[in-house]
Amino acid sequence: MHRRVLLAAPALLPGLARAQSPWPSRPIRLVCGFPPAGTTDIAARLIAERLASGLGQPVAVENRPGATGNIAAEQVARAEPDGYTLHATNVGTGSINYTLFGSRMPVKPGDFTELGLLMRVPNVLFVHPSVPARTLAEFIALANAKPGMLNYGSAGSGGSPHLTMELFRFRTGIALSHVPFRGAGPMLVEAVAGRLEAGCDNIPSCIGHVRDGRLRALAVTGAQRSPALPDVPTVAESGLPGFEATSWFGVQAPARLPPAIVAQLGRAIDVGTKDPSYRARLVELGADPPNLAPDGGTTTEAFAAFVRAEIAKWAEVVRISGATVD
């Protein structure tokens, strides 16, 4: 009897070793609900590189676009809460969609663990260079002269660029036709080709086209001008006092993630967003660092409070703008 027990015991050791192996012990997936070249994808890839360095395991960005980011959000919410499946969230999937989709929203805020804020960015309103409007006032006048005849593109129904434009339409009373795309990349292709008269997008994903003259920026939507586009006025400066609408990007995990892993991921994200090379890239893109902590970084607790406030804020924007999704 004793000999059989002693012989069987070694067979249990591999499983025991796996159960006690430190996290992370294998690659991590960072699921992004939008195509490559959009700002969510840019933010995901920037932090993935630094998480991989800090955690000692590869972090692969997996693009799963569709339903304004909800497909990816649901995939992560239903994943095992083991720290190996993370969500590259943004202002849409993290706050706007809960009100905009209502009962059709496949997830709820309680389905996620908030890990950290990556960056904040204003949006930019732009037109194709062929459009005879060089200022926001001229664009409003043109839209009033051609009610419903001008098209504007966005990265998808319910994202902050869409809601920004709906708030803009509400404030000005102009009639524009919305053309949603499955991400900023496809929308910008059509905008640069001149098949859209106008559009709204996060600064990082469209700034190259603006700087190269392929698109004409009319206004940025932050409270102040963007250092990346210093000659472009704010919407508020252009005749709509108090107008402000900015996007943000962060990382979530499924709910019930073990506290030790939450803490480890939160620290890694905070360290990654403080990396000088990361911050230098944000400056190039026209984005701002998290600034949720006194040292300019981010914490899991501060990000969770931030997300709660954003859900309430954008619920009001959806209400007053009357924005809907098909």
For 154-182, the pLDDT digits (tens) are 988 888 899 999 999 999 999 999 999 98
pLDDT at 20 over 60: no
Residue 137 in tokens: 């006032």
CA distances, 66 to each of 35, 96, 276 (Å): 9, 16, 33
Comparing C-alpha atoms, which of 121, 142, 314, 324 is closest to residue 218? Answer: 142
CATH number assigned to the domain covering 26-121+248-321: 3.40.190.150
Rounded mean pLDDT, 142-150: 95
Q: Where in the chain is the domain with CATH 3.40.190.10?
A: 122-220
Let me know: does 258 contact 264? Beta carbons within 8 Å. no
Alpha-carbon dihedral sign for residues 314, 200, 210, 47: positive
CA atoms of 85 and 59, how far apart (whole Å): 10
Q: Where in the chain is the domain with CATH 3.40.190.150?
A: 26-121+248-321
> Which architecture does CATH list for 122-220?
3-Layer(aba) Sandwich (3.40)
Q: Which residues of 61-80 are buried (b: 16+ CB within 10 A; e: fewer)?
A: bebbbebbbbebbbbbbebe
CA angle at 103 for the pair 100 and 109, rounded to the nearest 5°: 75
Q: Tokens 């709820």 label which residue?
A: 108
Condensed to tens digits (0 to 9), the pLDDT of residues 197-217 reads 999 999 988 999 999 999 999
pLDDT at 323 over 90: no
Residues 6+ apart with CB under 8 A from 138: 132
Let me know: does 207 contact 285? Beta carbons within 8 Å. yes
Rounded mean pLDDT, 21-29: 94
Per-residue model confidence (pLDDT) at position 5: 44
CA atoms of 141 and 233, how far apart (whole Å): 18
Q: Percentage of residues in the chain with pLDDT exceeding 90?
A: 78
